Homo-oligomer: A and B are copies of this chain.
Amino acid sequence: MELPNAFFLFARAEVEYDGRASSTLALGNYGILRKPDGSIQIHGANLIRPLNYMGKASISWDGDVILARSKKEVIRIRVDCVHHLIPLEEWSETKIRLIRTEAELRDKIVVDPESYLGIDPSQFEAVPEFVIDGEPVDIVFFPRGDGECLRVVEVKRTQVTKNTCYQLRKYMDALSKHYKERYGYLGYVAAPKITKSGRKCAEEHGYAYVPVDF
Contacts and interface: CB of A to CB of B under 8 A. Distances in A.
Contact of A37 (B45, B83, B84): B45
Interface in A153-177: 158, 162, 166-167, 169-170
A101 to B, nearest CB: 7
A41 to B, nearest CB: 6
B44 A92 contact: yes
Interface in A1-56: 6, 8, 10, 20-26, 28-31, 33, 35-37, 39, 41, 43-48, 50-53, 55
B10 A88 contact: yes
A35 B39 contact: no
Given A8-B10, A23-B98, A99-B22, A93 B37 contact: no
A68 to B, nearest CB: 12
Protomer copies: 2
Contacts of A95: 44
A123 interface: no
B37 A47 contact: yes
A44 B91 contact: yes
Given A39-B48, A97-B24, A31 B30 contact: no
Nearest to A9: B8
A82 interface: no
A100 B21 contact: yes
B31 A91 contact: yes
Interface string A94-134: 11111111000000000000000000000000000000011
Nearest to A12: B92
Contact of A86 (B37, B84, B92): B84
